[in-house]
Amino acid sequence: MKIDEGFLARMREAAQLLQSAGPMAATEAIQRALHGETPTDVQPQPEARTDTSTQTGTQAPNANASGTVRRPGNPFRAGRWAGKWSPSADRQPVEDVETHTASEPGKFLSGSVTNAAGRRDYKLYIPTSYNGQAMPLIVLLHGCKQNPSDFAAGTGMNKLAEEQGFLVLYPGQAQSANNSGCWNWFQPQDQRRDAGEPSIIADMTRKVIAEYRIDAQRVYVAGLSAGGAMSLVMGATYPDLYAAVGVHSGLPYGAAQDIPSAFAAMSGAKMKTGLPKSPTKPLAPLPKAVPVIVFHGDRDTTVHPMNAEQAFMQSAGASKQAADMVSEESGESGGRRYTRRLRKNAEGATTAEHWLVHGAGHTWLGGSSRGSYTDPNGPNASQEMLRFFLSQSLRKQ
C-alpha cells in the first residue's frame, strides 16, 4: 500500500499542535489533512514532566475549558458553530491558594488521596454552619487548565454552600497525569469502576464521607467540559455513591475510547477515511438510570451541543420505562434565552433536565469573573444544579 507522506506530515503537525496549542488547533490540522492541504511549520515541544507517584502523563484532547486558540489577526477562529466567547474566558486560572471573602468565611482545606491508580490532591470547603450535623456533599470536577481554587471561584459554589449548608469537594487533576490538567474521560482505563481516575475520585469522596458527617443519600457530582464528561463517568460507574450528576458543556459516557474518537465526539462529526472511525451506532444507555442535569451553550465551538442531547438521553438507562415523558419549555434568565427539556417518570417527578442556552459558548453559565471560563449571563448553573440535586433527594425520602 502506498503511503501518503503528505498526509502523515499533516497528522504529525496535528499531534504537535495538540501539545502546543490545544485541541482546536489540532482539530483544524486534522481537517486540513483530510482535505489534502499543506501542513504549516510546527516546532517540536519538550517532553511532558512525569511523576512516578502518579499515572503516566497524557496529553489530552481538551474536551475542556481551554479550547480557545489565540493567533495573530484571528483571535477567535471558530468552527461551524461560531459564537462569542465570554470576556472572562481567557482569564488565567486563580492561583491555588487559601483565599476567602466575606461571603465565604468557611474553611477551605487541602488534602490528598492515593491508591493503586495514583495520587490526586483536593480542596474541601466546609461552611461555618457545619457543627457535625449531617450535610450534603457536592463533588465538583474542574475543566482543563483550571484548578480547584479557580473552579471554586468561578462557580461560586462555596458561597451557595455557606448560604444553604453543604460541603464541596474539589478534586484536582495532576499535571503529570495530563499536561493540560484535563480529566482523562476518553481513556478506557479511566471509564471503569475501581480503576484509574474514577477509583481515585470515588476514594476521595469516601474519605470525606468518613471524616465528616455526610448524608450518604445526598452526595452529588458535577463538572465542566472534561470535568463534566468525567462526572458522567462517575455517575455511570458509581451509581451507588452519587445520587445525581451535573454535566456542563461535557460529553456522554463512552463517547470516546482514544484521542481520535475524542476529537470526533467533541466536534460532533464522524471521522473520515484515513483515521479510525467513531462508532456509527448510538451510544449505549447507562447500565442504570441516573438523575442528570445538563447545561450546554448552542454556540459552543469546543464541544458540540449534540453531546448534551446524548448525555440527556443516555441517562435514562437501559431500563427506560414507556411511562417516562419528555416535555419542552422556553424561557429567559440572566439575559439569555434557553430551551429546557424535562424527563419525568410516571409519578410526574423530574428525573433529568437538559438546558440549551442560546448564544452561550464553552463557559460555566451564571459564573463569577473571579474564575476562568465563566459567563456571568444566562441561567445560574450552580443554583439550578443545586436545586435539581436536592429535589432528587427529597423525592427519595
> For 107-396, which CATH superfamily applies?
Alpha/Beta hydrolase fold, catalytic domain (3.40.50.1820)
Cα 132-134-136 angle, rounded to 5 deg: 125
Angle between helices 381-396 and 157-164 (to 10 degrees): 40
- Of the pLDDT bands very low, low, confident and very high (cuts 50, 70, 90), residue 3 is very low
Give residue limits of the domains in the chain: 1-41, 107-396
Tens-digit pLDDT profile for residues 278-323: 444 567 788 888 999 999 999 999 999 999 999 999 988 866 554 5
**Of the candidate ranges 93-107, 168-182, 378-392, the one whose mean pLDDT is the lowest:** 93-107
- pTM for the model: 0.77
pLDDT at 329: 95
Q: What stretches of 54-166 adopt beta strand conformation (E)? A: 107-115, 118-126, 135-141
**What mean pLDDT, rounded, does the chain reach?**
79
Element (H, E) at 329: strand 325-333
**Alpha-carbon span 71 to 90, nearest angstrom:** 13
Tens-digit pLDDT profile for residues 108-124: 999 999 999 999 999 99
- Phi/psi for 396 (5° steps) reads -80, -20
Cell numbers that stand for 209 in this block: 464521607
Average of pLDDT values for 380-392? 96
Q: Name the H helices within the chain.
A: 5-20, 23-34, 148-155, 157-164, 196-211, 226-237, 259-267, 306-314, 381-396
More confident residue, 51 or 22: 22
